[in-house]
Structure formats: C-alpha cells, structure tokens
Structure 1
Amino acid sequence: MKKLQAPIVLILLLVTFTIESYAQKVITLKEAISLAQDNNTDLANAKLDLLIAQTQVSQAYSENLLPTLKLTSSYTRTFLKPVINIFGENIEFGSDNSISNKITLAEPIPVLGTPVFQGIRIAEYYEKLNEENLNSVSSNVIQQVTAAYYNVLFSKEVLEVNMEAMQNASDNYKVVEAQYNGGIATEFDFLRAKVNMENIAPSIDAAETNLKVSKLNLQQLIGMDGTQSIDVVGNLIYDSTEVYGSTDSLINNIVMNNVAVRQLQISNKINQELISVQEKSYLPELAVFGLYELTSSENDNTRIGDYQFFNSLSGGISLSWDLNLFRNSYEVQIKEIQARQTLETLQDTKRKLRTQAVSVILNMDDAKQRIITQKENVKLAERSLQLANYSFIDGVATQIDVLNSELTLSQTKLNYLQAIYDYLIAKSQLEELLAK
C-alpha cells in the first residue's frame, strides 16, 4: 500500500500543475500591448471614428466634384378646367391627365462664392485629425498597459523581498531559540525575534493583495475577463545604456511635435478654411445645369397606351446670391473668434507640455540617481546583516543589531525596487510624449 502512495501523490501533483498551467495565461509586455490594441474599447472607437472620417472624404469629393443628378416624376389630374367664353360658346382649355418626367443635372462652378475645394480640404483635415486622435489613444493605451505591466512586476518583487525578510527572520528566530533553550540568549531576545518574524506576515499579506489587484488592473486594460488568471514575464530592470538625447532637444521635440500639438494645428487649419467659406458667402454661387423633360397631356377618352409623349432638352447657368449680408458678417466673426480660441489653446498646450516634459525628465534623472545609490546600499546592507549574524553567534553583537540589519536590508531592497519602478514609469510617460 505504501508503494502505491508515492506514484498517486506524484500523479495528483502533475494533474494539479497541469490544471493551474492551463488556467493561467503567461504574457510578455509585447503580448499585453497587442491584446490591448485588439480589445481596448477606446482604441476601437478611435478606429471607427477614423473610418467615418475617411468615408466623409469620399462623400465630400462626391458632393463637390460630381454633378447632381435628379429624377422627378409627377402625375396631375385636372378636376376643373379653365373655361373661356368665345362668341357665346364655352371652351375648355387643358387636359384631364398630365404626366411629367424630368431629369435635372447640375454642377457647381468653383468660382466666386461656391466653396467646392474648401469643402474637400475640410473633410481631408478632419480625416487627419482623426488619424492623430487614433495615434493619441494608441500611445495612451500603450503607456497605461506598460505601467500596469510594470506594476505587476513591482508587486511580485515586493512580495519576494517580504518573503526573503520572513526567511531571514525565521532563520534568526531558530538561532535565538536554540540559544535561548541552551541558556545563552535571554527571554527578551527570544520574544523579540519571534515578534519580529510574526510582524512580517501582514506585509506579506498586503503584498499578495497588491499583486492580485495589479493583475486585475492589467487584465481590464488588455480586455480579459476575470475567469482566467494571468502572470507576467520578466523583472524590473534598469538599462543604463538607454539614451534619449539632451534635455533641451527632448523638450523642444515634445513641444513642437506632440500629438496634442499636431491636433490643434490641424484644427487651426480647419478654422481657416471655415473662415474662407464664410467670407465667400458674400459672393454669388454659380452652377451649370441641364434639363431633360418628357411630358404628356391627354384626356380621359385616350387610352394610356395611346398617350403621346413630348421631350425637350435645355441647359443654362444659374446664379444664387444670399443677400442677408449682416448675418454672414456675424458668421465670419464667430469663426474668427473660434480660430483665436484654438490658437490660445495651442499656446497653452505647449506650455503645459513643456512643464510635463521637464517634470518627467527630472523624475527619470532622480530615479537614475536613486538606482545607483540604492544598488550599492543593498550590497552594504547584505554584508551588514551577514556580519551581524556572525557577531551575534559569537556573542559580540546583540539581537537588536541583527533585527536592525534585517530591517535595513528589507527597506533598502524595497527602495531599490521603487527607484527602478519609478524610472520605468517615467520612461513610459516620456515615450508617450514623444509618440509619433
């Protein structure tokens, strides 16, 4: 019976591992971004907005360059005909039934007040505006997913640091317990070591909770539901070889080429075209037209099959002029004010982008310095704990020295992780600002 227990336990472990592996999806940062690009609602709506704008460009070409073709058919029944008395005799004019079919062809002439090409340019600008909006949403989604991914990595490594602290506290507790049982350590040292070990447990619980929450946040951003758990690949790593250019060049690049700036510049072009359209509304609109007409007028005593149809073809030039000039002047003023508003917003956006860029770059520089400092501090803290343990065993150091060294090591490791995390988040924000 005992011989069967080991294989059964092994099989159960393998089955459990297989089920957990199947239930958990392990993803890389690149995969997380790809999933978000496929599933994010804001990104999907931005793509649809762009599709609408592209369709409107085609519509603008059709409405402004292609002639308008219109078919009109009508049937008229005359119930009371006009009567004229001639020499005492009443004579009726007209017919009982009239049928009219008209085909009208009209084409605006792009001169004077006819805004043919302005309408097309406005539609094309709106398409570019939606392209930039898609770029903005896409870069924002990438930044959010990247930050959420790094948050999961950070939470995992914080949990590992707390687990290491628990292991160190447990090892120290065993040493103190042995010394206490042997009459070497005091009861105070024994109780202090035990309390220190148990005080780490809440930190582990909090770290586990933070890890679960960070994973749920990442799942939401990439469009996954909560039925399948996920895990991420990698560690928080600082690459000291990364170079983004000088501070001045980065700031100027962001201020001049950020997607928000590009959107406002396009909006300003749209405003200028709208002003041009309103200014041209003072002028008459010209169009050429053609008319083909097929008509028939018969009385009731004529069968439908015997109706005689007559056709005619004509053409000409039409002129329409809106003489309400006061209303047009107000429209021009409104468009000019809106254009000034856009320029004010553009200047304000550039100022805010400059401040944001400086802040992000300063945060990156600060994180770099902390990374360098804390990395060295971790080495020193590890050596300090090692010496404190040796000294305590030899009776040179006290239990307080060991506990202080353990606390210092844990805090230093957390500070190091926090510095790397802050750098990576600031880097993702800088990349969003620089996104093309």
Structure 2
Amino acid sequence: MLNLYNAISYVYMMIKKMFLDKILLLIVLLALFTNSVEAQDSSLSQDKDTLVLTIESAMKIALSESPIVKISEKEVVLKKEINKEAYAALFPDINLSGTYSRTIKKQTMAMQFGEETTTIQVGRDNTYNGGMIISLPIFAPALYKTINLTKTDIGLATEKARFSKLDLINQIKKAFYQLLLAQDSYSVLTRSYRQAEANFNIVNAKFIHGTVSEFDKIRAEVQMRNLKPSVVSAHNGVNLAKLQLKVLMGIDANYELVINGGLKEYEMEMFISKENNVYYNLSNNSDLKQLDLSNKLLQNTLKLQQTNFMPTLSASFNYLYMSMNDNFRISSYDWYPYSTFGLSLTIPLYKASNFNKLKQTKIQIQQLALNRLNLERQLNMKISSYLDSMNASSEQLMSNKESVAQAEKGRQIASKRYDVGKGTILELNDSELALTQAQLVYNQSIYDFLVAKADLELVLGE
C-alpha cells in the first residue's frame, strides 16, 4: 500500500509540475505576443495618424483649419481697418514743414521821387522757412458718409464670412454622407462578392462530384467574377470620398479617417423630419442678406455722391520760423517767427459728371431690387424642391426597407431550393442580385434625404 501511495504521489507531482511549466510557458508566449503587437501598432501609428470622425467633429475641424474660412475672417479684419482709417480723417493732420530757396536774380522795385526814379533790389540770397502746420476738417459731409459706407462694408464682409462657413458646413456634410454611402456600398458589394464566392465553391464542389452541370459552375463563376470590378470600384470610391473630406477639412492627406456606423443610423432622423411640419422662411438666407447689404451700400454711395453738391469747411494753423541771409553762416542767422490761422470754405457750383454718377447709382439700385426679387423666387423654388426630395426619400424608405427584407428571404429560399435540387443557378443568381440592388437602393434613399436636408439648411441659412 505504501509503495502504491508513493507511486500515485510521484505521478501527481509530475503532472502538477508539467501543468505549471505549461502555464508559465503560455504566460511568456502571451507576453511576447503582446509586446510584438504593441510594437507593430506603434510603428503603424508612427507611419499614419488615425482620426476617428463624427459629423460634428468634422465640421469643427473644418471651421478651425480650412483656409477658406480663414481668408473670409481676414477680409472682415481688413474692412475694420479701413473703417478705422475713415475715422482717422476726423482727427487733425500735424506736419513739420521746411523749405529753402536760393535767389538767382533779386526782384527790382522802382520808386518815383518827383521826376527822378530810383530802383532798388529786394530780398536776400538765401531764404529759410520751417515750422508746424495743422489742418482740421470742421464740416466735411463726404467724410461722414464715407464712415457710414465703411460700416456697411464691414457688415457685408461679415455676412460673406458667415456664408463661407455655411457653405463649408454644407460641403462637409455632403462629403461626410458621400463617404458613408461609399462605405456602405462597398460593404454591400463585398458581402455580395463573398456570397457569390461561397456559392461558386459550393457549386464547384458539386460539379466535381458530378451532382450539377458544368453550366451551373460557369454561371456561378461568371457571377462571382462580374462582382469583382464593382468591389474594386467601390473601394476606390471610398478612398476618393475620404480624400475629398480631408481637403474640405483642411487636414493633411496622411491622416487615416475612420468613421464608425453607417447611413442606417440616420433612419430615425427621416421620420422625425417627416413628422415636423415647419414653416420655412428666408429671413436668414445669406444671399438675400448680402443683397440687402449691397443695397444699403449703394444707398450710402448715393448719399456720398450727393455730398459733391455740399460745401466743405476746414481750419488750418501755421507756426513757422523764417530767416533771410546772404551767406551760409547758419549759426549767426536771425530767425523770425510768424503764425497764421485760417478757415477754408469750398462751395461747389457746377460739375457735369456729378449728375451722371447719381444717375448710374440709381440705376444700379433698381437692378439690385430686381435681382433680389428674382433670387427670392428661385430660393423658394429650391425650398420646395428640397422638401419634395426629402418627403419622397422618406416615403421610399419603408418600401426600400421592406424590399431588403423580402430580398433576403428570397435569397434564403432560392439557396435552399438549389441545395435540394428544385431550383436553378439562375434563380440563385437573380436572388443575390435582387438583394444587392435592394440594399444599395435603401442606402441611396437615406443619402438622398440627407443631401437634400443639408442643401435646405444652406438655403435657410441654418
């Protein structure tokens, strides 16, 4: 009994030792594998940065990095500086002035004393003038209207900057939705290709065993090979959509964009939008606002041109020193100060071109009013078109969703019929094609809705 017990204990210790050794070996291998994966991941991250995007983060990056937005913001800053320049004209101009003149031939004066005439030469060889000159506008209507003009110009530049942001957001949204559509289409075509490949493998195996004809094998292989170019084209479409989104966002092309989810996640948004019956107006439309500001700009220009018929009044003050000498010993010169204060009044009487300028500006105002009326009609037509497109996409969604479900069921039935020998390869291929088309049309309906909604938001200035 003791020997048997010792033998059992010995076997138990050997098994335990082997088990522990294997566990230790497994731990070491796992550690080495983890370090290797981490090293590969770090090397990949060094080669190309990955950026996980949502539509909100894409718009945020674009608004901060896009050169288009920065250019429009710089334009607003430029207009503000121009406005400050117009205000600066209200302040006095102060200048230091100095002149020197050399007399080549002195002026001769004649004086009559009885019957005798005496002539004398007046002046010195060298004349120096130097001092301070101050000028200040007192009443300058053109200056005041110019200030109002630059204020309106700032508003127009600000509105253009807002439109550039709205337009960029619109392009970002559509590029983002285009990328989702490209990814979903690629996913659908890839699944279809894999299913066609699996069908070919099954049919080929049956052909080898002699249970199906060579025609079925050929049809399955043709179906599989016909899908391959579509898969490659869809993959290229994904890359192109990513590149377009990168350009609009203003980021480097080396970034790898990752967008989780797909167009199906926006399905609920379509139902919510359909239930909300909102009255749409064009009060925030940027194009109309720009036309209104342009009209205000022309009105201010007209007022500015009318100031050409108004008088202007300005004041000036001079404080100068003068010295006249016949030599260049400047240290011994005597300097004599003198100062003046004056008012200058200018009253325009007649200038023919002023009347023509007024007529031109009035014609431009009339043209702008007609352009605004035409633009408003076009924008209302666009709103109706976008709303019709959104409603059509929403109504098609349920039908397309049901088509996908029916196509999936049809494919399953066709596959089972073919497996039991009651169906043909043509039925199986047709069911696969019908499912692929249904899924693509389903994704397209969501994409059409989102694009129309983005264009509607741009027109409404949201």
Cα offset, 1:97, TM superposition: 2.3
Answer yes or no: is the 8 Å Cα contact 1:296–1:307 preserved in 2.
no
- Map of 2:420 onto structure 1: 394
Answer yes or no: is the 8 Å Cα contact 2:274–2:394 preserved in 1.
no
- Distance of 1:146 and 1:422 partners within structure 2: 12
- Map of 1:262 onto structure 2: 289
After superposition, residues 153-164 of structure 1 pair within 5 angstroms as 153-164=180-191
* 1:371-404 deviation per Cα after TM superposition (whole angstroms, max 9, x unaligned): 2221121111111211222222223332222211
CA separation of 1:210/1:151 partners in 2, compared to 1, >3 Å: closer, same or farther?
same
Is residue 2:197 matched to residue 1:176? no
Residue identity over aligned pairs, in percent, reads 26
3-state secondary structure, aligned to 1:76: strand
Residue 135 of structure 2, aligned match among 106, 115, 127: 106
Residue 361 of structure 1, aligned match among 366, 382, 387: 387
Is residue 2:56 matched to residue 1:26? no
Answer yes or no: is the 8 Å Cα contact 2:271–2:394 preserved in 1.
no
- Map of 1:329 onto structure 2: 355
Answer yes or no: is the 8 Å Cα contact 1:96–1:297 preserved in 2.
no
Indicate the larger mover: 81-90 or 194-203: 81-90
- Map of 2:151 onto structure 1: 124
Cα offset, 1:247, TM superposition: 6.8
- Map of 2:81 onto structure 1: 55
Length-normalised TM-score, structure 1: 0.89
Partner amino acid for 1:96?
D
Is residue 2:290 matched to residue 1:249? no
After superposition, residues 337-376 of structure 1 pair within 5 angstroms as 337-376=363-402
Answer yes or no: is the 8 Å Cα contact 2:93–2:136 preserved in 1.
yes
Partner amino acid for 2:132?
I
- Map of 2:270 onto structure 1: 240
Answer yes or no: is the 8 Å Cα contact 1:155–1:207 preserved in 2.
yes
Cα offset, 1:137, TM superposition: 0.9
Cα offset, 1:146, TM superposition: 1.8
After superposition, residues 285-324 of structure 1 pair within 5 angstroms as 285-287=312-314, 289-300=315-326, 303-324=329-350
Cα offset, 1:352, TM superposition: 1.7
Length-normalised TM-score, structure 2: 0.84
Answer yes or no: is the 8 Å Cα contact 2:130–2:322 preserved in 1.
no
Answer yes or no: is the 8 Å Cα contact 2:270–2:449 preserved in 1.
no
Cα offset, 1:20, TM superposition: 3.5
Answer yes or no: is the 8 Å Cα contact 1:71–1:103 preserved in 2.
yes
- Map of 1:207 onto structure 2: 234
CA separation of 1:400/1:13 partners in 2, compared to 1, >3 Å: closer, same or farther?
farther
Cα offset, 1:109, TM superposition: 3.4
Is residue 2:407 matched to residue 1:407? no
- Map of 1:92 onto structure 2: 121
- Map of 2:217 onto structure 1: 190
Cα offset, 1:90, TM superposition: 4.6
- Distance of 1:40 and 1:244 partners within structure 2: 33
Report the aligned-residue RMSD. 2.7
3-state secondary structure, aligned to 2:51: strand
- Distance of 1:226 and 1:336 partners within structure 2: 50
Residue 93 of structure 2, aligned match among 60, 64, 68: 68
* 1:272-296 deviation per Cα after TM superposition (whole angstroms, max 9, x unaligned): 1111122231222222x13122222
- Distance of 1:242 and 1:109 partners within structure 2: 63
* 1:175-206 deviation per Cα after TM superposition (whole angstroms, max 9, x unaligned): 32343334332222222122212221111111
Partner amino acid for 1:20?
L
CA separation of 1:393/1:342 partners in 2, compared to 1, >3 Å: closer, same or farther?
same
CA separation of 1:233/1:107 partners in 2, compared to 1, >3 Å: closer, same or farther?
farther
Cα offset, 1:24, TM superposition: 4.2
- Distance of 2:233 and 2:328 partners within structure 1: 97
Answer yes or no: is the 8 Å Cα contact 2:323–2:336 preserved in 1.
no
Cα offset, 1:101, TM superposition: 2.7
Indicate the larger mover: 322-331 or 32-41: 32-41
Higher alpha-carbon Rg: 2
Cα offset, 1:419, TM superposition: 0.9
Partner amino acid for 1:240?
M
3-state secondary structure, aligned to 1:117: helix
* 1:1-52 deviation per Cα after TM superposition (whole angstroms, max 9, x unaligned): xx99999888766544443344142231333323322333322221111111
- Distance of 1:235 and 1:430 partners within structure 2: 22
CA separation of 1:162/1:6 partners in 2, compared to 1, >3 Å: closer, same or farther?
farther
3-state secondary structure, aligned to 2:210: coil
- Distance of 2:330 and 2:285 partners within structure 1: 71
- Map of 1:218 onto structure 2: 245
- Map of 2:107 onto structure 1: 82
CA separation of 1:200/1:10 partners in 2, compared to 1, >3 Å: closer, same or farther?
farther
Partner amino acid for 2:303?
S
3-state secondary structure, aligned to 2:270: coil
Partner amino acid for 1:341?
Q
CA separation of 1:201/1:230 partners in 2, compared to 1, >3 Å: closer, same or farther?
same
Answer yes or no: is the 8 Å Cα contact 2:106–2:122 preserved in 1.
yes
3-state secondary structure, aligned to 1:249: coil
Answer yes or no: is the 8 Å Cα contact 1:215–1:231 preserved in 2.
no
CA separation of 1:95/1:168 partners in 2, compared to 1, >3 Å: closer, same or farther?
same
